[in-house]
Copies of this chain bind each other. A is one copy, B any other.
Amino acid sequence: MAELITLTTDFGTQDSYVAEMKGVLLSEGPASLRIVDLSHELPPFDVANTAHFVRATLPRFPAGTVHVVVVDPGVGSSRRPLAAEVGGQLVVGPDNGVFAYVFDRNTIVHAIDVERLARPISATFHGRDVFAPVAARLSRGVPLAHIGPRIDSYQHLPFPMVEIQASTLTGRIIRIDRYGNLITNIPRSTLVGFLAGAPPGSVEVQVAERVVRGVLDHYAEAKLGDLLAVIGSAELLEVAVREGNAAHKLGAQIGASVRLSLRAPP
- Say which residue of B13, B15, B26, B38 sits within 8 Å of A19 (CB atoms): B38
Looking at A6, A65, A175, A234, which has the most chain B CB atoms within 10 Å of its CB?
A234
Q: Which of these binds chain B: A41-49, A104-112, A193-201?
A: A41-49
- Give residues 49-94 of A contacting B (CB, 8 Å): 52-53, 56-62, 65, 73-78
- Give residues 101-137 of A contacting B (CB, 8 Å): 122-125, 128-129
Question: How many whole Å from A40's CB to the nearest CB in chain B?
Answer: 7
Which B residues touch A95, using CB under 8 A?
none
| A154 located at the interface, meaning its Cβ lies under 8 Å from any Cβ of chain B in the complex | no
A231 touching B123 by the CB < 8 A rule? yes
Contact with B along A15-46 (1 / 0, CB 8 A): 11111101110110000001111111111110
| A4 located at the interface, meaning its Cβ lies under 8 Å from any Cβ of chain B in the complex | yes
A220 touching B56 by the CB < 8 A rule? no
Which B residues touch A175, using CB under 8 A?
15
| A252 located at the interface, meaning its Cβ lies under 8 Å from any Cβ of chain B in the complex | no
A219 touching B57 by the CB < 8 A rule? no
| A218 located at the interface, meaning its Cβ lies under 8 Å from any Cβ of chain B in the complex | yes
A41 touching B14 by the CB < 8 A rule? yes
- Give residues 210-250 of A contacting B (CB, 8 Å): 216-220, 230-234, 238, 240, 243
| A8 located at the interface, meaning its Cβ lies under 8 Å from any Cβ of chain B in the complex | yes
Bound state CA distance, A188 and B56, in angstroms? Answer: 42
In chain B, what residue has the closest Cβ to A54? B16
Contacts A26-B4, A219-B124; A178 near B44 (Cβ below 8 A) = yes
Measured CB to CB, the residues of A under 8 A from B are 4, 6, 8, 11-20, 22-24, 26-27, 34-45, 52-53, 56-62, 65, 73-78, 122-125, 128-129, 175, 177-179, 216-220, 230-234, 238, 240, 243
Given contacts A8-B19, A14-B43, A17-B233, 6 further A-B contacts (CB under 8 A): A12-B41, A13-B41, A15-B175, A23-B62, A27-B60, A75-B219
